[in-house]
Amino acid sequence: MSGESSSSETAPLLRAHASSSSYNTAAAAKQGHVDAETGAIPTSSGSGDTELYDNVPEEKRQLGISSAIFLIFNRVIGTGVFAAPSIILRSSGSVGMTFIMWILGALVAAAGTAVFVEFGTGIPRSGGEKTYMEYLIRRPKYIVTCVYAVYGMGIGWMAASGIVFGEYFLHALSIPATPLNVRITGFLSLTFCLVIHGVFLKWGIRLQNALGFFKLIVLVLIAASGVLSLAGAPGFEIGAEYEAPDNFRWGKFWEGTDLSANAFVTGMYNVIWSFIGYSNANYALSEVRDPVRTIKRAAPLALLFVACAYLSVNIAYFAVVSKADMLGSGTAAAALFFRNLYGPATSRILSAIIAMSTLANNLSILFSQGRVNQELGREGILPFSSFFSSNKPFNAPLAGLFAQWLVSVVTMLGAPPGDAYLFIVNLISYPLALFNIIISGGLLLLYTPTYKSYDWCPPFRAYKPVVVFFFFSNVFLAVVPMIPPLPGQTVYEHLPYWSHVATAIAIGFVGVVYWFVAFRWIPKRKGYTLERETVLQDDGVSRNVFRRIPVGGAYTRE
């Protein structure tokens, strides 16, 4: 998948100016690392503003390899593993083509993992796409951060999965899943995630890991049950009242294959999105112990677990459920699997499993997105940046977590069923493809003579063909939603098929307007320029502040 440079395995590209475990303003000032008057930590002499290895105290780095693995695993595998196989089969037309699509999706995810591991080893700090795009796009100053901030702070990444949790949790308890009940349950689940990650950091990580391990065990048991059923083991027979599958006989395996461009595009679009989340640990690298070494091991291992889970569970489903049932029932593949093998009474057990899987997914999203919001606060771009960058009062980014919780809850409670809900799901997904295009395209440029001044030489390098493959896969994801659907097919009932694309672009434009007003128009009108410096908070974590420099006058901090 990737190659290694000759650099030390644990040496990051961007180094701290002092040891993060003992760094303080007074000591650094004596050594010349900090301006004695302002407390500012100077950035490196490069042209960028992000060329500073993270100054995070060692005691705040609480994620090891296993935690990083489950951070990714929980983010990727939510409800898709239980429902997506039926959807992919409808697009592919055959069992064989379904497996080809899943394998291609795994290859795209592997390429993306290689790209994010390279960036993670080169810039081992939290933020993910935000941090990497800031490194790549340095002019105009701060525009990337402003645009990303609108997406990061303004989109409720947990809204959809909050409703999914509510639906399955209520079904597991045999409680009517009315819209009100679902939203109340979803609200309580998201609030639980906020409290445990914002107040009880270590217990939140432990719960997240435990749920990830539970999910992995469940998937292993499903896969094993399917194989035992296929082998005719006693106790794993399919119920006599259900159609016996014949999906792995060579003729049946490829029967019905749809090779049309539209079917392939639709199927691959769903498969690729089923793997999204492989970059989740990159959002929280500032809290990872030995981040360079950890990300190099955790990300590929997590992806391996995910790919094996998807493929083995698909084998189990097709071993137990007939193709006709999967295409015609309109029910998730996992529900048919449990019904055929263990009887319809197990539907509540499956609902409980899916609810726990979704809870793990929400915990993973909130943990990482809270760190992204904290990084946005540390950049000094947002109003009340000191508030969002703080780890007080529970040694966790409670403010960043709260911001994501609030937007997700408002979105979840306010989104009506139908077009609006599907629109929100698509709106959450689409910007990721645009960010990945910039990141992978920028990585290709870093190895060209034009970008030689960046001196990009991380401890881990992805092969160039892998990066090219990832770049074009995301171009595919960005272009497909703009292609008109075939006659008789619709994306939404009442909205144009391109509405979420236009809205996503409009949100980015809001970020551009914010940048222009805050960093161009107002400073010019009031007669000052802005200069950014880095200071240490009293919790030992650095953050950026801006100072206003009027012509011929003393500066003031914003």
Residue 41: strand pairing partners = 534
Q: pLDDT above 70 covers what percent of the chain?
A: 85
Does the CA dihedral 483-492-478-358 come out positive or negative?
A: negative
Angstrom distance (rounded) from CA 56 to CA 392: 14
The H-or-E segment that residue 535 falls in is: strand 528-536
Q: Is the pLDDT of residue 92 over 80?
A: yes
Identify each DSSP E strand in 299-342 by its residue range.
none
DSSP string spanning 80-119? HHHHHHHHHHHHH-SHHHHHHHHHHHHHHHHHHHHHHHHH
Q: Is the pLDDT of residue 376 over 60?
A: yes
> Which residues fall within 8 angstroms of residue 295, CB to CB, at 6 or more apart?
68, 117, 120, 121, 124, 281, 282, 285, 288
Q: Is the pLDDT of residue 54 over 80?
A: no
Task: State pLDDT tens for residues 229-267.
Answer: 888 888 888 888 888 888 888 888 898 888 877 778 778
* Angstrom distances, CA of residue 363 to CA of 172, 402, 407, 417: 20, 13, 15, 24
User: What pLDDT score does 49 carry?
Assistant: 35
Mean confidence (pLDDT) of the chain: 81
Closest CA to 155 of 394, 508, 455: 508
Closest CA to 76 of 264, 251, 275, 227: 275
Task: State pLDDT tens for residues 446-471.
Answer: 988 888 888 888 889 999 999 999 99
- 321 burial type by CB count under 10 A (0-12 exposed, 13-18 middle, 19+ buried): buried
Do you know the residue count of the chain? 558
What number of other Cβ atoms are within 10 A of residue 47's Cβ?
11
**In angstroms, how far is the first alpha carbon of the chain from the final one?**
46
The model's pTM: 0.81
User: What pLDDT score does 56 carry?
Assistant: 65
Higher pLDDT, 528 or 419: 528
Angstrom distance (rounded) from CA 424 to CA 500: 8
Phi/psi for 4 (5° steps) reads: -110, 145
Mean pLDDT of 160-184: 86
Residue 8: band (very low, low, confident or very high) from pLDDT cuts 50, 70, 90:
very low
Task: State pLDDT tens for residues 359-374.
Answer: 998 999 899 888 888 8
Answer for the pair 504, 430: CB distance below 8 angstroms, yes or no. yes
Give the DSSP letter of residue 441. Answer: H
Q: Which residue has the tokens 């705040």?
A: 60
Among 464-468, 495-499, 528-532, top mean pLDDT goes to 464-468
* Angstrom distances, CA of residue 7 to CA of 10, 122, 227, 292, 459: 8, 11, 44, 11, 5
